């Protein structure tokens, strides 16, 4: 519901402040808050999923695509970052046991 868009009429709004569209915060670009951008090195990553578990925003996504590292290790999936929602708190980089996530300053 951005500015300029026509607002719904009173009779079109659901009663009692209910919200009928579950999980519609996905439309909010909280990624704009970010000052540092996490970048995952898929070669270093051991797929322990700690970042996925600890992320408060659910901004780490598991991608079911096989991946083979240069040293020959094969993984069934990879993790990627949802930059639309990532707030750049840096918990993932801090907690990564193999330091596969770097925080790089955002350049506008």
Q: Which residues bind another protein (CB under 8 A)?
A: 1, 17, 19, 21-30, 33-34, 48-50, 52-59, 62, 82, 85, 87-91, 93-95, 103
Q: What is the largest CA-CA distance in the chain?
A: 62
C-beta closer to another protein: residue 40 or 88: 88
Minimum gap (Å) between residue 88 Cβ and another protein: 6
Minimum gap (Å) between residue 89 Cβ and another protein: 3
* Angle at CA of residue 51, ends 48 and 53, nearest 5°: 90
Neighbours of 42 (CB within 10 A): 14
C-beta closer to another protein: residue 12 or 70: 12
Contact at 8 Å (CB) between 55 and 91? yes
């Amino acid at each position: 519901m951005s500015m300029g868009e026509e607002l719904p009429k009173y009779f079109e709004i659901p009663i009692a402040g209910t919200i009928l569209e579950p999980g519609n915060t996905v439309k909010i670009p909280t990624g704009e808050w970010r000052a540092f951008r996490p970048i995952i090195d898929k070669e270093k990553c051991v797929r322990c999923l700690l970042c996925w578990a600890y992320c408060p925003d659910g901004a780490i996504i598991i991608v079911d695509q096989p991946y083979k590292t240069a040293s020959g290790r094969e993984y069934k999936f990879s993790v990627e970052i949802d930059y639309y929602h990532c707030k750049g708190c840096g918990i993932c980089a801090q907690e990564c046991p193999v330091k596969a996530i770097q925080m790089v300053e955002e350049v506008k």
